Every structure is written in structure tokens, then in C-alpha cells.
Amino acid sequence: MGLTLSTPPISLTLAFGDDAKADVTGRWTAANLGSAQVYLQVADDGGTFVTPAVTASGNPDFVYSLPLSNAVVPGTRAGTITVRACEDVQCVKPYASASQTLSYKVEITPMPEWETTQGNAAHNAYVPITLDVTRFAKAWEWKRPAVSTSTTTGPIFPVVTSGRMVYVAADGVSTAGPGLFALDEKDGTVKWSQQFTLRYGSLNPPAASGGTVYVPTTGHEDTFLWAFDAADGTPQMQSGFRTQWADILAPTVKDGVAYVNSGYYGGVVYAFERSTGLKKWEASGGTYGMNTPALDDANRLYAHNGSTLTVLDSRDGTLVGSIGPQPGGLQVDHRATPIVGAENSVTGFVGDWYNETRPLRNYAIDTLSERWTSVKTYRAYPAVAKGVIYAASNNPKSFDAIDEKTGQVLWSWIPGTADTVFFHNVVVTNNLAFVSTNRALYAIDLATRKPVWQTPTPGQVAISASRMLYIMPGTTDVYGYPSSGSDGRLLAFRTR
């Protein structure tokens, strides 16, 4: 008896979470079998692919599509797939000379975690994955514990993720102090928590990067950047900076340095070394409240106050240049972030948060100049991917795809009459854009430009490296404030 495989050695490069299959094709030949059966066994010594049970093979030609195991993690996996023909279903008696092997190598690249405001240090809310909405399914729901004196739970801040954990920060409510909770992505159980005393004026949104969770407290003399071990909550640093009783956005973390935008009577960016907890530098820029800087991959940091974009060297805080000022930028809560998009392109909201809806302005970094300012005004935190800005406008009401170079609207989606307002944040993947109205969270197909999925729980959105979709529900919104409208719940949806 003989067995041959026609499939060449397998080489795959995948993003973590991608669906993939290995097709194994071959043929067995035999003479004078009589009433004997041929059973085929497929085995993978590396455990990378899911192999089928041993089955009788009535047809000499065979094809096996072996799906990737859900247990694989990022990294390089190499192994051998073996196909053998046997006389029995247990494959105790293999036929002589009827076994072949096929080598494989699979490179699985890690996906980015949701680390800070709008996902990453660029704040572009782009997640480089392709999602199938038919596979979306609710996994679990978590609710902030009620305070001791009532059934009130209070709001939570937008979440961040790291290493199959999701981190939730909640400010103090009634007699309950501020808290930081680490939840298991699998089922939402609390793995550890840190409680802060009521003496800390405000807890602010968290960030997570490099195995560390960061969370700022602000309250004049109680203003600190705290850091905890992401796995078990062990305290790692408590570093002071200055603020004017302001609330701030999540720190921005890159290459082991955490940056916060705060200050006292004027915006200041502070840079802290994770390894020592020491302040690395400070420099003027941005605003003292509801702001965080953005960083690119060329050692440039961007701080924006709605009128002036300040460009600093992220290594030492020296001034690279600035663009502006323009009318409308006051030293008040900015409630927005600069967004790094294509090379030499940064976009930000014009003006302060009192306007609620604001134009977008794009800056050319190589020439330190304005490129364009939008005619329309926008509200939700935008997303940027592949040269397109995705933003939501309430007057006239539309979700717009905007050319990053020219500011021209490429296409728009207009929701129904029951959807009266856009808010929260926009998140974009390779094929979908997520946006909330007052009545639903929608997934807009970027090819058809129409909704292909929705859930009646609008809110802040985040997507983890393991492709869990998180929603922090809220049907109201105080413009740009991170926890506004939150009902204290966190919903998790599996997407694969």
C-alpha cells in the first residue's frame, strides 16, 4: 500500500486572532484490499492545528482543512503534520509504507492592546484586524460594586487592556472611594483591585503598557501618577506632578515612559520613567485639564490646546516647533487629544470643549503649518486609519469619512430619525467603523458604507489584542468627559 501528499511545506504569517486553515491534500493506493477498510489518521506534533478524528476513507483522494487551534499565542510555531493509513479505527495497525509527513512554520504576530485614550500613543483608535460580525456574541457583563449606603454604582472610566486582562478605574461615589479593578477577559471576574482613599480629589482614566497599569489622581497636593503591576496589582511607583484641581485624560505611554498633560495655570507635559518613577522632564504645552499628548515613531510628542499645536522632542522635552495660535483656544479643559495619522500629519479639534461640537484641523508637521480646517463641526472622538479620518457630526447629522490630506468628505452615513445625536468615540478596524448614537452602537461596513451590526447599548468602545470588544454603556454624554453617561457597567463581546 502507498500514500502520497501533494501539499508543499506550509508557511503562514498571521496576525493573532486571524482565522487560518492548513489544507492537506493527498492520495492513497492499494491492491487486493478485499473487504479490508482504509482508515486515515492526521496528527500534528506541534498542536498548532486542530486535527480530525480517525475516519474510514472510501475515496483514495483526500483533502483535510485543518483550522488553527484557538490555544495558539503570538510567536513562531513549527511542527510536522503526519497522515497515515491504518487497518483499524484506533490506528493500532498502520499499513506498511503508508505514512507521510508535511512540515509547517507559522508566524503569529501580536496584536496591539488597547493601552490608553483611543487605543494607543497616536490616539488614532485604529485596530489592524478584520472582523466578522456574524461571530459577535456577548461574553459577559460586569458592574461596578454598589456603594455601601445605597444601590448606586456610579460611573466608570474607559477601559484599557493588557495580557488578557481588562482594567477599569472608577472615581469616588458617595462613601465609596476611588478604585482600580483588574478583570479576567475570559469571564469578567475580578483578579485584583486597588482602593484609593477619599482624600484623593479625583481618580482619572487608566493606561496600560509593558506589564504596568498607570492611573493618575488629581487634587492639588494629592496629584500623583501611580503604577501597578498588571498581573497582580503590586504597587510600582507613586510620582507627584502639579495640577489645578483638574481632571485629566489617561496617560500616554511609549517605550517605558509615561506622559501626562496637566499643569498649574497653564498646560504642562510631564514625562516619567517607568523603571525609576522619576520625572524625566517637563515642558509647556497643551492644557491643564482633560488632555493627553500624542506621540509618533520619530521621537516627536504633540500637545494641543485647541489653538496651538506644540511639538516637543519626546526624549528630553525640548521644543521642536509650534503651529498657531488660532482663535478659540483657552486654557480650560480641552476634552480631546491630538491624533497622529499618516506621516507628518496630526489632526485635532479646534477650540475648547464649551463649543461641544468643533471643527477639525489638520497640521503638516514637516512644514509646521496648517493643512486644512473642516467646514463642519464634530463631536465624538474621531479615528484615523489609512489616510482617512472617521468623525461624527450632529449638525448636519452624519458620520463622515474624511480625506486626511485634503479635508474633503469622501462619503457619509446618515442614521435614522430615532438617532438624534452622536457621541462617545469612534473606533476603526480594517473593515468596520464603530460609532454610537443615543440609541445604539453601530458597526459600519467600510466597503458598503452601511451598518452591518448594532446593539442597543451605545457607549465608549475598546478592542483588546485578543479581539474582545468592550462597551462602556451610556445613553447620555457630557461632552468629552470620560465617565459621563456611564451606568457603571462593562459589556464584553467575543468577535471570533
Average pLDDT over residues 380-397: 97
**In whole angstroms, what is the distance from residue 226 CA to residue 203 CA?**
10
**In whole angstroms, what is the distance from residue 157 CA to residue 360 CA?**
25
Sheet holding 61-67, edge to edge: 2-5, 21-29, 61-67
**In whole angstroms, what is the distance from residue 380 CA to residue 123 CA?**
13
Residue 123: C-alpha distances to residues 243, 251, 292 (Å): 23, 11, 9
* 114/197: higher pLDDT: 114
Average pLDDT over residues 322-350: 83
CATH class of 133-494: mainly beta
**Torsions phi, psi of 354, nearest 5?**
-60, -25
Contact 268, 223 (CB under 8 A): no
**In whole angstroms, what is the distance from residue 94 CA to residue 14 CA?**
35
- For the chain, residues classed under CATH 2.130.10.10 are 133-494
Q: What is the pLDDT of residue 147?
A: 57
**β partners of residue 66:** 22
Cα 437 to chain centroid distance, Å, stands at: 20
**In whole angstroms, what is the distance from residue 469 CA to residue 429 CA?**
12
**In whole angstroms, what is the distance from residue 157 CA to residue 114 CA?**
14
Report whether pLDDT(15) > 70: yes
**In whole angstroms, what is the distance from residue 267 CA to residue 261 CA?**
7
Helix (H, G, I), strand (E, B) or coil at 240: strand
Hunting for cell 483591585 — which residue is that? 193
Instruction: Look up the pTM and report it.
Output: 0.89
Question: Mean of the per-residue pLDDT values for the chain?
Answer: 92
Q: What is the pLDDT of residue 480?
A: 53
Of 2-16, 117-131, 220-234, 346-360, the poorest mean pLDDT is in 346-360
Average pLDDT over residues 159-169: 97
Q: What is the pLDDT of residue 328?
A: 41
C-alpha cell at 68: 488553527
- For the chain, residues classed under CATH 2.60.40.10 are 2-109
Contact 223, 243 (CB under 8 A): yes
Domain 2-109, CATH number (from 1.20.120.420, 2.60.120.330, 2.60.40.10, 2.40.50.180) = 2.60.40.10
- Nearest-Å Rg of the Cα atoms of the chain is 26
- Positive or negative, the CA dihedral 478, 144, 131, 339 is positive
User: How many alpha carbons lie under 13 Å from residue 263 in its C-beta half-sphere?
Assistant: 23
Q: What is the pLDDT of residues 412-462, one digit of tens each?
A: 999 999 999 999 999 999 999 999 999 999 999 999 999 999 999 999 999
